[in-house]
Amino acid sequence: MQDFVFVLLSVLCTPKGLTGVNWNVVVQPQVNGFKGQNVILPCVFTHPKQATYTSKITVKWIQHRSEDLIFHCSLQNQTDGQNQECYLTSPMPLWLSGNPRKGNLSLGISDSQFTDNKRYICRVELDYESYQSKISTLLNITGPAEILNLTLDSEATSKGGLLKCIARGNPVPSVKWTSLSGSLGNVPVSKTDQSNYTVISSIPFSGQDVYTCQAVNSLGQAERTFPPNQQTGLVWISVFGCLLLLGLFIGVGVVVRKRRRAMPQNYPNYPLQMDKSCIDQVNKTPVYANVSIGERRLPPEIPVKCLDETTYGYSDIQKK
């Protein structure tokens, strides 16, 4: 117990202990992101001269295993300081996301890819001392399954070639094969490369069939058909069939509409105006249902109205 108290007093009486602020760099153990999006690797720091330090601050980010410097940025720790020099030593699209003058050294990564999935170390350097995070940050970029390539190696087998499908995703996808004939036989076990998030699957190819490679993981799926023109042909056949049906429906509608227009309207609304002489003329020339009056063909029951307000039907006139 006395030894513990002695050690505690020794720490409190050190210069750093008296200031109440020690060196510290804090990062997240793991950062998750999605393929193609921007991600931020957080990093904040404190140091004993935080309140009075006005000299240069240098920010560095290093890849853990290779110890390669990928990002470097220097600036003066002044309120109105505008001079900031940053440069990249990596092809990765990086930028300084945080404000080092406020103790934020966070790093931004644009358009993140599976190849960015590595460990990163945050480091800060001042004029009098430097410090880096005690743990590294693991970046984990995930994404749906995608098919990189579907090709035929005609020299792989003597029967007809070997069809190879290369898929990628994180989690690493599984590959399934289908064909129009429905018969695939024994599909060989796929070869998986966890470090590149890829999987390669191959099957024997027959020129008499159409094959589809499908890649699936928990975030999505993708598929591709070989030969590719078969898929295109099916699409065009479907489109042509839809257009043909649409044209048929339009043609039927036009015919029906024309027939409706050719039919007579309500009879009482369209009486035929005739004087008394028309009755004598009608008696001499019987009117039948197929006789054209104007542009309409009227049946015998349509009323004929003479000018003296007497109304007859064709059948009545014919009896007179």
- Please name every residue paired with 96 in a beta bridge, in sequence order, or none if there are none: 107
Q: β-strands 130-132, 119-125: how paired? A: antiparallel
What whole-number distance in Å separates Cα of residue 5 and Cα of residue 22? 20
- What is the per-residue pLDDT across 117-172, written as a single tens digit (0 to 9) for each? 999 999 999 998 999 999 999 999 999 999 999 999 876 555 668 899 999 999 99
Task: Give the predicted TM-score (pTM) of the model.
Answer: 0.62
**Local structure of residue 104 (DSSP, 8 states):** B
What mean pLDDT do residues 58-62 have? 95
- What is the per-residue pLDDT across 233-285, written as a single tens digit (0 to 9) for each? 444 455 455 577 777 778 777 776 776 666 555 444 444 444 445 445 445 44
Phi, psi of 156 (to 5 degrees): -70, -35
**Local structure of residue 190 (DSSP, 8 states):** P
State the alpha helices, DSSP H only, in the chain: 2-12, 15-19, 228-262, 276-284, 314-319
Cβ 38 vs Cβ 97: under 8 Å: no
Q: Alpha carbon of 283 to those of 277, 288, 292, 313, 317: distances in Å?
A: 10, 12, 17, 13, 7
Percent pLDDT > 90 in the chain is 44
Q: Give the pLDDT confidence score for residue 117 in this predicted structure.
A: 96
What whole-number distance in Å separates Cα of residue 275 and Cα of residue 317? 13
Close Cβ partners of 123 (under 8 Å, ≥ 6 residues apart)? 25, 59, 60, 61, 62, 130, 131, 132, 133
Percent pLDDT > 70 in the chain is 65
The average confidence (pLDDT) of the chain is 76
What mean pLDDT do residues 10-39 have? 74
What whole-number distance in Å separates Cα of residue 112 and Cα of residue 92? 9
- Angular region, 263: left φ>0, alpha ψ -120 to 50, beta rest: beta
- What is the per-residue pLDDT across 71-114, written as a single tens digit (0 to 9) for each? 999 998 876 656 678 877 888 999 999 999 899 999 999 999 99
Cα distance between the two ends of the chain: 139
